[in-house]
Amino acid sequence: MAQVTSPPDPVKVVDDTTTARRRYSSDAAGLGRLRAGAFVAPALALIAVFLVFPALWVIYLGLMNYRLTGLAAADPQFVGLDNFLQAITDPNFWDSTWLTFQFVLGSAVIGQVVLGFTIAWMLRDWRGPLKRIVEGLVILAWILPSAVVSFLWVALLDRDSGTLNALLGIEGFAWLLDHPMLSIIIFNTWRGTAFSMMLYGAALGNVPPSHLESARLAGASGWQQLRDVVFPHIRGHILTNLLLISLWTFNDFSPFLLTAGGPDGKSEVLAVHVYKTALQSGDLGYGAAISTVILLINLVVAVFYLRLLRSKK
């Protein structure tokens, strides 16, 4: 599901599992286990049916030759690992994976992190309305609905009358057609920088000013302060931030809104590829196999992320 606002602080939860037992009974209202169970049940039921079950179901679907129409729709057969083998041997799948890799590397790992950090660093000593304006604009890019910002970029990048070409003084340059990957990478960087900016802003605020001042008094330049004082302090944040936004970007569907995976599959990241094969071409079994791969990759990244958080605390 689309992440519009920052995620809950998972560190607090992870902490709960390792904190020593508190002194007094925490059941302040005398709820008791039975009632507590009844309180939790509805939420768990919903999660089980609409979140957990689909995740398990997709594995099952991947093992069937289910299609949206035709014979296989009425009477799907068990095909074992055929869909998975098909994926592995399908060049489109690998192309899509490679494009997704570029997408994540370019817009998340490089784009959002670098830009987010740069802005946080530059604004670190600012206060007042100007800082709020800059931050506000960056955040605006993040909170506007994806359908709207996608179109804003379609308008911006329009070949004949888009603002970008007007500013650059060139005509007839079809960004979305000739450079689809570049376009979606820049777009996603623009869109997602706010999260990293806020995260690094908070992390920088936690660097003790006395450390920075000691370095400055010792004659360190801005760059040296960054390297010797700031980075050691925020190293942990960088890695967890990277993992989180990589996970989000890997699952991001908004390239579809911009280029629909085209032209000719040149910007067809995995999310779009799944959509095309399963829901447009109707090959649900195959699409499910790819979805399973996506789930597994998500799992690996998420577990790694949580492990990191735990070890930080």
Nearer to another protein, 21 or 210 (CB): 21
Sign of CA dihedral 84, 90, 93, 98: positive
Query: Least distance (Å) from another protein to the CB of residue 249?
Result: 11
Using CB under 8 A, which of the segments 21-29, 83-91, 101-109, 209-217 binds another protein? 21-29
Query: Least distance (Å) from another protein to the CB of residue 68?
Result: 8
Pick from 96, 150, 188, 267 the residue near another protein by CB under 8 A: 150
Backbone dihedral region for residue 278 (phi beyond 0: left; psi -120 to 50: alpha; all else: beta):
alpha
Q: Does 74 bind another protein (CB under 8 A)?
A: no
Site size toward another protein, by CB under 8 A: 105
Query: Least distance (Å) from another protein to the CB of residue 59?
Result: 9
Instruction: Determine the Cα–Cα distance for residues 19 and 261; give it in Å rounded to an integer.
Output: 47
Query: Least distance (Å) from another protein to the CB of residue 53?
Result: 8
Using CB under 8 A, which of the segments 80-88, 90-98, 162-170, 201-209 binds another protein? 162-170
Q: Does 148 bind another protein (CB under 8 A)?
A: yes
First to last CA, the chain: 28
Q: Does 31 bind another protein (CB under 8 A)?
A: yes
Instruction: Determine the Cα–Cα distance for residues 35 and 129; give it in Å rounded to an integer.
Output: 50
Q: Does 86 bind another protein (CB under 8 A)?
A: no
Sequence-separated (6 or more) residues with CB below 8 Å from residue 255:
103, 184, 188, 261, 267, 269, 271, 272
Nearer to another protein, 242 or 306 (CB): 306
Instruction: Determine the Cα–Cα distance for residues 289 and 161; give it in Å rounded to an integer.
Output: 42
Query: Least distance (Å) from another protein to the CB of residue 60?
Result: 8
Site for another protein in 123-142 (CB under 8 A): 134, 137-141
Site for another protein in 53-72 (CB under 8 A): 53-55, 57-58, 61, 66
Nearer to another protein, 44 or 85 (CB): 44
CB 76 within 8 A of CB 61: no
CB 294 within 8 A of CB 274: yes
Sequence-separated (6 or more) residues with CB below 8 Å from residue 225:
212, 215, 216
Find the helix or strand (DSSP H, E) in which 307 lies: helix 284-312
Q: Does 254 bind another protein (CB under 8 A)?
A: yes
